[in-house]
């Protein structure tokens, strides 16, 4: 299945990448009764013999993946982001600690998932996986970048967690320029000198919208797609600290421990620079339409504009 | 061999001043029986892909694993003398990243059967005849993940997966009947679709027969319920919950070695 031309959800990119990875016989796919949602169903339809259905049992899925990785396979295991969290200790002790290369995908991350309500809205996944030694943590912004980054995992020698989103968003990349992105390297979407807006996932689009509006007010903002939260692209942050002198971090995630947390940690240790964080402010989500929920929780382009104006004053 | 391993176990734990002698001594006859019954591995090539796998899920019984690896010549006396010390390949709980011949990083109970299932499914995909052996404790079956794995092993027809349950009836704090008795473990696995063999886990002839029978059974995963005595071989440790996770002192070591020699 090809991704829709008008834009697509990052989960679609994950699904299409799995199909492209099928050429490598080591690649196996594990799912926990949510293959239709995470889009691993695309692989399952074509390669049932290399798809392992684990039922609704995420802890078992993580360790079965680890066992397969120790036996020469490259497992891609997916479920909802929130349900990977149920198996956090399994990921920590069974996958990352022995350094087994298992690639976990948590779909439907963040409050963007909307009406299902807070039980389904993972807002702490990036933070918890970031604490595990050896883990790579990613959150791509559209279907094309999700596909590209997932394809790059084939030759990635560390276990990884990739959060994808349920909803379609306008594409940030096109078929050509998406090939320039690399795991571990932030990507400048728009150059600017007054403030650096660092975003991940669905919020990259909001950051782009905010930057366009700021331009009308005479503020030249730089926008970065920081699709890899760990390892963090410190070189780029160093450069932007010099270039812009202040930061706004933007994520559909708790402001504690995720993208904003990691950038604040980096800057406080290397080059103290004013930071404002746009994200879920230490509370759970709730049911609601995506747009109204983002406004309600103050994590949309308007919130980014306010944060940018505030942080520029702190320079 | 089992006697030599038992001596290693008590000496290792005594030297480290910490460790888990009780569950190591209950398991060691089973482990010796397994490695002595056609368990396919190459001691000079521990990463051989087609080797059988031994997943020690009750990872606190690491002295039992290190003792067999020592007596088979995979690791050295110096290695086991370093048990639990900084930089030693013999970590507190068995760890595949640190020790040649160890197939799983354990220490958190309930995970090894799932890992073994992953090894078994991969072997089937590869058309390999390698067998996967997982050892779990009876207390460990209180972890829900064990039953997730038991259900999935039946569904995926993992006939190359075998579990040995060290049924010593004692867990960390006390006897299982005090903490959380599991009842008829064999029947529970049977209801999940497994073939069951019940044995005396200290009778070598029963152990060897059970391992052979489990290996021959192709279509169903097999559970060997091995009735054992915690601390077996050292009188004051036998059936004594306090030696689940306690090292013998100097005097107790001397007494233990007298009984084992």
For the stretch A52-79, pLDDT in tens is 999 999 999 999 999 999 999 999 999 9
| A184-313, CATH topology level | Rossmann fold (3.40.50)
Tell me if B118 and A93 make a contact (CB, 8 A cut-off): no
Q: Where are the domains of chain A?
A: 10-163, 184-313
Confidence check: pLDDT of B180 > 90: yes
> What's the rounded mean pLDDT across residues A137-151?
97
CA–CA min distance A31, chain B (Å): 13
Kindly indicate the confidence band of residue A2, based on its pLDDT and cuts at 50, 70 and 90.
Answer: very low
Alpha helices in A80-231 (DSSP H): 81-86, 88-89, 125-130, 143-152, 203-216
Residues of A in contact with B104 (CB under 8 A): 70, 98
Kindly indicate the confidence band of residue A1, based on its pLDDT and cuts at 50, 70 and 90.
Answer: very low
> What's the rounded mean pLDDT across residues A12-17?
96
Strand arrangement of the beta sheet that strand A74-80 belongs to: A51-53, A27-31, A74-80, A103-107, A160-163, A136-138, A228-230
Q: State what percent of residues in chain B have pLDDT above 90.
A: 94
Q: Most B CBs within 10 Å: which of A64, A69, A77, as the mutation test of the B interface?
A: A64
* CB-based contact B105:B97 (threshold 8 Å): yes
SS3 category, A221: strand
CB burial of residue A100 (10 Å; 0-12, 13-18, 19+): buried
For the stretch B43-95, pLDDT in tens is 888 889 899 999 999 999 999 999 999 999 999 999 999 999 999 999 999 99
Which residues on neighbouring strands pair with residue B132, listed in sequence order? B53, B161
Kindly indicate the confidence band of residue A116, based on its pLDDT and cuts at 50, 70 and 90.
Answer: confident
Read off the CATH number of the domain in which B193 is found: 3.40.50.970
CA–CA min distance B152, chain A (Å): 7
Give the integer Cα–Cα distance in Å for A224 and B16: 52
Q: State what percent of residues in chain A have pLDDT above 70.
A: 98
| A10-163, CATH topology level | Rossmann fold (3.40.50)
CA–CA min distance A22, chain B (Å): 15
Alpha helices in chain A (DSSP H): 10-21, 35-38, 41-46, 58-69, 81-86, 88-89, 125-130, 143-152, 203-216, 234-244, 259-270, 290-296, 301-313
Confidence check: pLDDT of A5 > 60: no
Chain A residues within 8 Å of chain B (Cβ atoms):
28, 49-50, 52-55, 57, 59-60, 62-73, 75, 89-90, 93-94, 97-99
Domain that holds residue B211: 2-260
> What's the rounded mean pLDDT across residues B155-162?
96
Which residues of A are known to be catalytic? 58
Residues of B in contact with A70 (CB under 8 A): 96, 103-104, 115, 118-119
For the stretch A158-209, pLDDT in tens is 999 999 999 999 999 999 999 999 999 999 999 999 999 999 999 999 999 9
Tell me if A57 and B151 make a contact (CB, 8 A cut-off): yes
Q: What is the ipTM of this complex?
A: 0.94
Confidence check: pLDDT of A3 > 80: no
Question: Across the interface, which of A57, A59, A98 has its CB nearest the CB of B96?
Answer: A98
Mean residue pLDDT across chain A: 95
Confidence check: pLDDT of B11 > 70: yes
Q: Tally A–B CB contacts below 8 A.
A: 103
Q: Give the range among A29-43, A55-69, B105-119, B215-229 with minimum mean pLDDT.
A: B215-229
Q: Is B121 on the interface with A (CB under 8 A)?
A: yes
Count of domains forming chain B = 1
Q: Given the structure tokens 């993946």, which residue do they identify?
A: A65
pTM: 0.95
């Amino acid at each position: 299945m090809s991704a829709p031309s008008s834009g697509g959800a990052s989960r679609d990119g994950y699904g299409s990448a799995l199909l492209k990875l099928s050429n490598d016989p080591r690649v196996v796919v594990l799912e926990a009764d949510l293959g239709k949602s995470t889009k691993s169903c695309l692989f399952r339809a074509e390669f049932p013999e290399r798809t392992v259905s684990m039922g609704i049992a995420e802890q078992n899925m993580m360790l079965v993946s680890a066992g397969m990785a120790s036996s020469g396979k490259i497992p891609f295991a997916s479920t909802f982001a929130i349900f990977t969290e149920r198996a956090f200790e399994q990921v920590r002790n069974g996958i990352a600690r022995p350094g087994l290369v298992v690639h976990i995908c948590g779909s439907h991350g963040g409050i963007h998932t909307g009406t299902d309500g807070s039980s389904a809205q993972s807002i702490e996944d990036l933070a918890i996986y970031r604490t595990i030694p050896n883990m790579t943590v990613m959150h791509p912004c559209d279907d094309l970048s999700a596909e590209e980054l997932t394809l790059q995992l084939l030759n990635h020698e560390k276990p990884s967690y990739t959060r994808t989103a349920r909803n379609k968003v306008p594409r940030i990349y096109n078929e050509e320029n998406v090939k320039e992105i690399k795991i571990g390297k932030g990507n400048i979407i728009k150059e600017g000198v007054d403030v650096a807006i660092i975003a991940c996932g669905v919020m990259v689009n909001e950051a782009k919208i905010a930057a366009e509006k700021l331009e009308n007010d005479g503020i030249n903002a730089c926008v970065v797609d920081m699709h890899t939260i760990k390892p963090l692209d410190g070189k780029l942050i160093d450069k932007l600290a010099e270039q812009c002198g202040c930061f706004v971090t933007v994520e559909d995630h708790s402001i504690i421990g995720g993208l904003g947390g990691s950038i604040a940690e980096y800057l406080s240790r290397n080059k103290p620079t004013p930071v404002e964080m746009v994200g879920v402010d230490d509370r759970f989500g709730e049911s609601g339409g995506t747009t109204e929920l983002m406004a309600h929780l103050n994590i949309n382009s308007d919130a980014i504009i306010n944060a940018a104006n505030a942080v520029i004053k702190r320079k | 061999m089992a006697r030599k391993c038992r001596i290693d176990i008590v000496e290792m734990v005594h030297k480290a001043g910490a460790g888990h002698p009780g569950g190591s001594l209950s398991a060691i006859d089973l482990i010796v029986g397994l490695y002595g019954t056609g368990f396919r591995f190459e001691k000079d090539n521990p990463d051989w892909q087609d080797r059988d796998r031994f997943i020690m899920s009750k990872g606190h019984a690491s002295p039992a694993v290190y003792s067999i690896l020592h007596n088979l010549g995979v690791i050295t006396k110096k290695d086991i003398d370093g048990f639990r010390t900084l930089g030693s390949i013999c970590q507190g709980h068995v760890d595949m990243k640190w020790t040649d011949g160890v197939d799983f990083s354990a220490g958190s109970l309930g995970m090894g059967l799932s890992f073994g299932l992953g090894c078994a499914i991969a072997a089937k995909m590869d058309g390999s005849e390698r067998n996967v052996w997982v050892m779990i404790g009876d207390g460990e079956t209180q972890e829900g993940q064990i039953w997730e794995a038991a259900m999935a092993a039946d569904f995926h027809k993992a006939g190359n997966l075998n579990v040995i349950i060290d049924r010593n009836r004692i867990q960390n704090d006390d006897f299982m009947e005090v903490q959380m008795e599991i009842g008829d473990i064999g029947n529970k696995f049977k209801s999940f679709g497994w073939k069951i063999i019940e044995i005396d886990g200290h009778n070598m002839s029963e152990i060897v027969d059970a391992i052979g029978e489990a290996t021959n059974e192709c279509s169903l995963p097999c559970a060997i319920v091995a009735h054992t005595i915690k601390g077996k071989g050292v009188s004051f440790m036998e059936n004594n919950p306090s030696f689940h996770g306690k090292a013998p002192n100097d005097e107790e070591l001397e007494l233990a070695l007298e009984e084992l020699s």
